Structure 1
Amino acid sequence: MYRFYGSCTSLQLGEVEELGPTAIDNIDFQFMLLGVSLLVYFFFQISFSKLLF
């Protein structure tokens, strides 16, 4: 899973570098990554709690 996530982020970063992003685009991209990682974290927390109890 972490390998897949890393490959996705590296691919997207490569595309963004080719486009030549502004600082605002870079900040938006970082916030998007943060939101996705939080969603994945909460999803796994909920699924694990359902499995344990």
Structure 2
Amino acid sequence: MNIKVDSKPIEQMNVVAAIFLNELETIVEQVATDKEFCIFWILAEGKAYKEVGRIFGV
């Protein structure tokens, strides 16, 4: 049986993006305050600045 498996560049990009985000999160966690880290995390999850402002009451 000869099975050919195609790799998809989109899936690879998602893996690369996830690795980058994990590394970035580690760095931000080390240098940012708790509030700054929360803002970073919320923005990384795709929320808008308006949503961040609502959450923090700004």
Higher relative contact order (CA 8 A, sep 6+): 2
Higher helix share: 1
Scaled to the shorter chain, the TM-score interval is 0.3 to 0.5
Report the TM-score, using the length of structure 2 for normalisation: 0.45
Structure ID, larger Rg = 2
